[in-house]
Amino acid sequence: MHAAPRPLTLAADGPLSGHVRVPGDKSISHRALMLSALAVGTSRVSGLLEGEDVLATAAALRACGAGIDRQADGDWLIDGVGVGGLLQPLNALDMGNSGTSTRLLMGLFASHALTVTFVGDASLSRRPMQRVIDPLRRMGADISASPGGRLPLMQRGLCPAIPIVHDLPVASAQVKSAVLLAGLNAPGATTVIERTPTRDHSERMLAGFGAEVTVEPVPGGSAITVRGGAELRPRDIVVPGDPSSAAFPAVAALIVPGSEVLIEGVGLNPTRDGLYRVLAMMGADIARENSRLVGGEPVADLRVRAGPLIGIEVPPEVAPSMIDEYPILFVAAALASGRTVMRGIEELRVKESDRIATMAAGLRACGVECEEVPDGLIVTGRDGAPVPGGATVASMLDHRIAMSFAVLGLRADQPVIVDDAAPIATSFPDFLPLMTGLGARVG
């Protein structure tokens, strides 16, 4: 459970400046722990995100027999047990606020002969799991969920699992990854067909650990196939900076006049960099410097300079590559000129909160005109003028909502008070010192 509410207000007395490094990519950190736990031998992970969500994954894998230890130098060593070698946990696994931990671990455990109970906090317990439950049941897992396909739920895995072909009804990297992880301990080929590309960290990392993974075009999409029975090899992994976390100092630098910020070592996988492409369409001055590959993932330093933004109609097809970044895009849109139309993002309604409704309510409270539609939000920007502010906004236990409104407060006439900053620790424990190091102040 989260600590007592901790209100937060950020303000800026002048330009933001400096160079920073954001925490390790959350998606890659989860997967690095999981696949290392299934390898035979010891893997080393550098740059692991040490937020609450990733630590929940580490605790769950440790409870199932994997050796996971943080070293004095900040690296993590994982002693894997091999595919199929995980042990029965003694207690329920507490996922905290992490939907990624829950959905991916459900897949990983579905092809082990384990009975596992998943529990989570109030926010996670409202999030639907049915889209993961359905394919895992087809693979042989016996899953008893709370009403609405929610936590708490109990899962009895089948070893070996039944290989399936699963056509994703909704673009979801989490569902894709859950099925592929289950397929590691199923005989033959397990295939996921996706009609809209989603983040491909699982495919890249599975191949890196020695699994046989293929990606082939099919009519209307792609077929991603993993062949079960592989012995995963341990490896050393360097986790790049999380593009979702980098979005907050980036947008802060764009909207505070005179700012220039360098964000080092940001992962810019083309299935994850949609926000930066959209901001460029809005006229943002964001330069990619020192582009390179780190552990098979494209990485660059981002130099961000303040400047005017123009409202646009965001192409709906970009949504899967930036679904977590829409709350901070709403903030950028609030300072742009003209209207920014964001559609095709109904997935935001089943995140840690209903991010469309929550952000719309907070923006209106701060004096920003916006229109909520079933699948999105239309924001009328203030043409670079500060928002009126002077409101307390509800974060709804959602880390990205809390950080987004904290950034909005940097360009507000009156304080924007986030009712509870405690959830920020789930993904960005050093958010506050990073922002104050760039020149923001608290209060």
Query: Is 222 assigned a ligand-binding role in the annotation?
Result: no
Query: Is 99 assigned a ligand-binding role in the annotation?
Result: yes
Q: Report H helices in 26-72.
A: 26-38, 52-63
Q: What is the Cα 268 distance to its own chain's centre?
A: 14
Name every residue whose Cβ is closer than 8 Å to that of residue 225 and which is 6 or more positions away in sequence.
189, 190, 191, 192, 213, 214, 215, 216
Q: Which of 53, 12, 394 is nearest to 242 (CA)?
A: 53
The dihedral formed by the CA atoms of 253, 254, 256 and 259, expressed in degrees to the nearest 10:
50
Is 324 considered catalytic here? Answer: yes
C-beta of residue 400 within 8 angstroms of C-beta of residue 72: no
Can you tell me whether residue 202 is helix, strand or coil? Answer: helix
Q: List strand residue ranges (DSSP E) for 150-211, in order.
A: 150-156, 165-167, 189-194
Q: What's the CA gap between 57 and 55, in Å, rounded? A: 5
Q: What's the CA gap between 222 and 197, in Å, rounded? A: 8
Query: Is 227 assigned a ligand-binding role in the annotation?
Result: no
Query: Is 130 assigned a ligand-binding role in the annotation?
Result: no
Query: Is 324 assigned a ligand-binding role in the annotation?
Result: yes
| b/e 255-272 (16+ beta carbons within 10 angstroms → b) | bbeebebbbbbbbbbebb
The 3-class secondary structure across 294-334, one letter per residue, is ECCEEEEEEEEECCCCECCEECHHHHHHCHHHHHHHHHHHH
Query: Is 400 assigned a ligand-binding role in the annotation?
Result: yes
Choosing from 324, 354, 398, 420, the catalytic residue is 324
Location of structure tokens 């998606």: 27
Query: Is 127 assigned a ligand-binding role in the annotation?
Result: yes
Location of structure tokens 């506050």: 432
Integer CA distances (angstroms), 256 to 11, 264, 314, 341, in order: 10, 20, 23, 23
Query: Is 26 assigned a ligand-binding role in the annotation?
Result: yes
Q: Which two structure tokens, joined as six digits, stand for 88? A: 């029965």
Location of structure tokens 């809005």: 282
Query: Is 355 assigned a ligand-binding role in the annotation?
Result: yes
Binding site members? 26-27, 31, 99, 127, 172, 174, 324, 351, 355, 400
Binding site members for 3-phosphoshikimate? 26-27, 31, 172, 174, 324, 351
Catalytic residues: 324
